[in-house]
C-alpha cells in the first residue's frame, strides 16, 4: 500500500523479479488502469497487481477493481486477505494466474482448493498482516511445503541472499519481499523512511490491532505506541481509527514525518543496512544465495 506504484514495480520487473502494483493504492479503478499503463510505458517485462481484501474503514469497490485489472490485460494477480474465493474464481475465469498470500497452512490449502496457482506464505515476522497464529517462517514455511502442492513463495523477514538460500532449503520455490524493497532508490516514498528502515533494528516494530483480531505489524513510532496503549485500555476500534486511517499514513509518507501516522515495516529492518537500486539489490540477493549454496553449504558436505 502506497509503495507499490509504477516506478518501483517497473524497476523490480526490469531486475528480473516480479513486482506488484497494489490496486488499492489507486483511488479508483480508472486510476489503477492508468497506473498499469504507466508501468507498461516503463518496462516490457511481466508484472502483476495485488488485491488486498481486508476489513477497512471505508470498503473499496472490489468488483470494479477486479474488472479493471482484467480489462487492462493484467494476467498475474496476488490476492491477500480474507475470503478470496469469489475473486480467485473471477480471475481464474479470465485466465489470470493467482498467487494467494496467506498466513497459515489451512488457508494455503483452501486457496489451493479454490484454484490458486501459487501460495505466498507470510510468517509472523512479516510487515503488514501476520494473522493471529504467531507462527514464524522457520516453522510455517516447511509446514506449508509439507502439504501444499503448488509452488510456494516464502514471505516475511526476507532481505538478503541468506534468506533466499534458507527459504529454498525450507522447501519454498522463491521469496516475497516488502520491507526490503521500501529501502531502495526507486521506492516512491520519502527518503526519511528509507533512512529509518536502515537505522531501525529487528525490534523496531509493533503488532497493533491484536485486540480487534486484525493484527498488523508496523514500524514502531509514536502512533503505534499510542494505539497499543489504547488497546490495553480496552478501547473500541472507533477510538483508534482517527490515528490509523490510511490517508494519515500517506500524509506522513509524503511529508517524511515518521510519527504522523502508522507505516508498515517488518522485523527484517534489522537486516537492512543500505539503500541500493532495485537492480543492485536483486542481483546481490541472487549472487549471495548462489555463493552460500555453492561454496558454504557445499564445503560443509566435504
Ligand atoms: C509498506 C508496506 C505496505 C504493504 N502493503 C500491503 C498491501 O497493501 N497488501 C498486501 O497484501 N501486503 C502488503 N504488505 C505486505 C507485503 O506484501 C509482504 O507480505 C510483507 O512485507 C512481507 O514481509 P517483509 O516486509 O518482511 O518482506 C505491505 C508491506 C509493506 C512493507
- Domains, the chain, ordered by start: 6-189 (3.20.20.70)
What pLDDT shows up at residue 59? Answer: 86
Q: How confident is the model at residue 227 (pLDDT cuts 50, 70, 90)?
A: very high
**Pocket perturbation via mutation, ligand 1, pick of 264, 265, 272 by most ligand atoms within 8 A of CB:** 264
What pLDDT shows up at residue 54? Answer: 81
What pLDDT shows up at residue 247? Answer: 86
**Pocket perturbation via mutation, ligand 1, pick of 5, 22, 122, 128 by most ligand atoms within 8 A of CB:** 128
Question: Residue 128 has what DSSP assignment?
Answer: B
Ligand 1 centroid to residue 277 C-alpha, Å: 19
Among left, alpha and beta (phi > 0; psi -120 to 50; other), residue 171 is left
Average pLDDT, the chain: 96
- For residues 178 and 157, give the distance between their C-alpha atoms in angstroms, rounded to a whole number: 9
Question: What percentage of the chain has pLDDT greater than the value 70?
Answer: 99
Collect all residues with Cβ–Cβ distance below 8 Å to 159 and sequence separation of at least 6: 177, 179, 180, 268, 271, 272
Question: What percentage of the chain has pLDDT greater than the value 90?
Answer: 94
pLDDT tops 90 at residue 113: yes
More confident residue, 264 or 247: 264
- For residues 135 and 290, give the distance between their C-alpha atoms in angstroms, rounded to a whole number: 28
Shortest CA distance to 108 belongs to which of 89, 84, 125, 124?
Answer: 84
Helices (H), the chain: 6-14, 29-42, 62-71, 85-93, 105-114, 137-147, 161-169, 179-182, 191-199, 222-232, 237-244, 246-255, 278-291, 298-301
Per-residue pLDDT, averaged over 142-159, amounts to 98
What pLDDT shows up at residue 217? Answer: 98
Ligand 1 centroid to residue 291 C-alpha, Å: 28
- Unique residue bearing C-alpha cell 537505522: 199
Neighbours of 292 (CB within 10 A): 19
pLDDT tops 90 at residue 236: yes
Q: pLDDT of 42-82, one tens digit each?
A: 999 999 999 999 867 678 999 999 999 999 999 999 999 98
> What percentage of the chain's residues is helix, strand, coil (to nearest 5)?
50, 15, 35
CB 268 near ligand 1, within 6 Å = yes
Exposure on the CB side of residue 200, measured as CA atoms within 13 A: 25
What pLDDT shows up at residue 204? Answer: 98
Shortest CA distance to 10 belongs to which of 34, 38, 30?
Answer: 38
- For residues 47 and 166, give the distance between their C-alpha atoms in angstroms, rounded to a whole number: 25
Q: How confident is the model at residue 215 (pLDDT cuts 50, 70, 90)?
A: very high
Neighbours of 254 (CB within 10 A): 13
Q: 139-143, 171-175, 244-248: which range is least confident on average?
A: 244-248
- For residues 255 and 236, give the distance between their C-alpha atoms in angstroms, rounded to a whole number: 29
What pLDDT shows up at residue 177? Answer: 98
What pLDDT shows up at residue 241? Answer: 94
Q: Is 246 exposed, middle or buried (0-12, 13-18, 19+ CB in 10 A)?
A: middle
Amino acid at each position: 500500500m502506497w509503495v507499490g506504484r509504477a516506478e518501483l514495480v517497473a524497476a523490480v520487473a526490469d531486475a528480473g523479479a516480479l513486482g506488484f502494483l497494489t490496486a488499492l493504492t489507486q483511488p479508483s479503478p480508472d486510476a489503477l488502469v492508468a497506473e498499469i499503463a504507466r508501468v507498461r510505458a516503463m518496462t516490457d517485462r511481466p508484472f502483476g497487481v495485488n488485491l488486498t481484501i481486508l476489513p477497512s474503514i471505508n470498503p473499496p469497490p472490489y468488483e470494479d477493481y477486479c474488472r479493471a485489472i482484467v480489462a487492462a490485460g493484467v494476467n498475474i494477480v496476488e490476492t491477500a486477505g480474507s475470503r478470496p474465493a469469489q475473486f480467485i474464481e473471477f480471475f481464474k475465469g479470465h485466465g489470470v494466474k493467482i498467487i494467494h498470500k496467506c498466513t497459515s497452512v489451512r488457508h494455503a490449502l483452501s486457496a489451493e482448493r479454490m484454484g490458486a496457482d501459487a501460495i505466498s506464505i507470510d510468517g509472523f515476522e512479516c510487515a503488514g498482516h501476520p494473522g493471529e497464529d504467531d507462527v514464524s517462517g522457520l516453522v510455517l514455511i516447511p509446514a506449508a511445503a509439507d502439504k501444499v502442492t503448488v509452488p510456494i513463495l516464502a514471505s516475511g523477514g526476507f532481505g538478503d541472499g541468506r534468506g533466499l538460500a534458507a527459504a529454498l532449503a525450507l522447501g519454498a520455490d522463491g521469496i516475497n519481499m516488502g520491507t526490503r524493497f521500501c529501502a531502495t532508490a526507486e521506492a516512491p516514498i520519502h527518503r526519511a523512511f528509507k533512512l529509518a528502515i536502515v537505522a531501525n533494528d529487528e525490534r523496531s516494530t509493533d503488532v497493533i490491532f491484536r485486540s480487534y483480531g486484525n493484527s498488523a505489524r508496523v514500524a514502531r513510532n509514536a502512533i503505534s505506541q499510542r494505539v497499543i496503549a489504547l488497546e490495553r485500555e480496552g478501547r473500541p476500534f472507533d477510538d483508534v481509527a482517527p490515528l490509523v486511517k490510511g490517508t494519515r499514513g500517506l500524509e506522513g509518507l509524503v511529508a517524511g514525518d515518521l510519527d504522523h501516522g502508522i507505516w508498515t515495516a517488518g522485523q527484517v529492518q534489522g537486516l537492512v543496512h543500505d539503500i541500493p537500486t532495485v537492480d543492485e539489490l536483486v542481483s546481490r540477493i541472487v549472487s549471495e544465495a548462489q555463493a552460500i549454496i555453492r561454496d558454504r553449504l557445499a564445503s560443509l558436505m566435504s
